[in-house]
Amino acid sequence: MKLLQKIDIGNLELQNKMAMAPMTRSRADANGLVNDLTVLYYTQRASAGLLITEAINISVQALGSPFTPGIFTDEQILAWKKVTKAIHDNGGKIIAQLWHTGRVGHSIDRAGILPVAPSAIAIQGQQHFTSKGPKEYETPRALETSEIKQIVQDYKQAAINAIEAGFDGVELHAAFGYLPNQFLVESANIRTDEYGGSIENRSRFVLETMQVMVDAIGENKVAIKLSPSIPFNSIIDSNPTDLYSYLLSELNKLPLLYVQLMNAMFPTDHLPQYPRDVIGVFGKLSNHLVMANGGYTRETGELELEKGIAKMISYGTLFLSNPDLPKRFELNAELNLPDRATMYGGGEKGYTDYPALN
């Protein structure tokens, strides 16, 4: 199987072409610290070619959901060092996904402070998971230009902190409607300064952030996750093909580790401008290693690799419920079913108690 073949990306030698996709699990404490249960969770899954962490907040301001980890204090860095050491001791490689949620948050879990965003436009038709139950989204505060430049620096510092914590690299979470994604699209960005208006201006935040992280931690250590055809979190653009074609062409100028592309996971019949074949349309535009994400099985992942555009496949829920997923794929063994009720928050149940094969 191609999925089980070794692959070298950047300076990393990976034991297979299967990555564990980033998945929020909401098991950190109130101070954004991961614990020994988190160490166990990732260590159980160290047979993945590459582990990508749950999204990690880059600052206090970045926080959107309760019980999510950070990487902006010394204590948080020390806590992550236990995870990375355990992964490396077990022969694995691990990347930190860096996160600023922007408007995808609520003041309830932000000490009463409103979320920030490119523009003062609220997410419509959805509710946010908070420590006090589901809540309607608030209208965020629009960022000042000077604040945007500070957030770029926050990403830079988070990347430096991740390397100090022992991670093999970082991934910018620029997908699924979080802050970088908000800058990219017209539905969330109506700015009139250098960060709004044209495709070039709306791409500026992502490109500046990627550049400063590359400058800070070096070549082949920075990656990005994009979701060109996902309208979730009120992310709508009139011409995503032109937008992401430009963005990918500019990212081609940087020495990146990989580009992770999410498939179109939501109905887009009402959005005919959104390509359904994300890997076919956008993957071929990238000069970097392309990692395909979203809904893959053993069989469809193998087929995607055979097409030749994607070189790795990332699995989310399947890795959540099957810590030894590569071995199960190798043996074509039965898979554990995920317990969706225990995905977010709680303790070991639905986190570290999924059985491995005997």
Distance CA 247, CA 251 (A): 6
Which amino acid is it at 18? Answer: M
Distance CA 267, CA 301 (A): 21
Distance CA 44, CA 90 (A): 9
Task: Identify the DSSP state of 271.
Answer: -
Distance CA 352, CA 346 (A): 11
Distance CA 143, CA 358 (A): 53
CA dihedral sign of residues 192, 178, 8, 166: positive
Q: Which of 137, 178, 195, 315 is catalytic?
A: 178
8 A C-beta contact, residue 7 and residue 302: no
Distance CA 270, CA 268 (A): 5
Taking alpha carbons only, the member of 170, 175, 28 closest to residue 101 is 175
Tokens encoding 186:
């017209």
195 in catalytic set: no
Question: What is the per-residue burial (b if ≥16 Cβ within 10 Å, else e) of 282-313?
Answer: bbebbebbbbbbbebebeebbebbeeebbbbb
Question: What is the per-residue burial (b if ≥16 Cβ within 10 Å, else e) of 242-254?
Answer: ebbbbbbebbeeb
Tokens encoding 202:
């709306």
Question: How many CB atoms within 10 Å of residue 177?
Answer: 23
Q: How many residues does the chain have?
A: 358
Q: What amino acid positions are annotated as catalytic residues?
A: 178
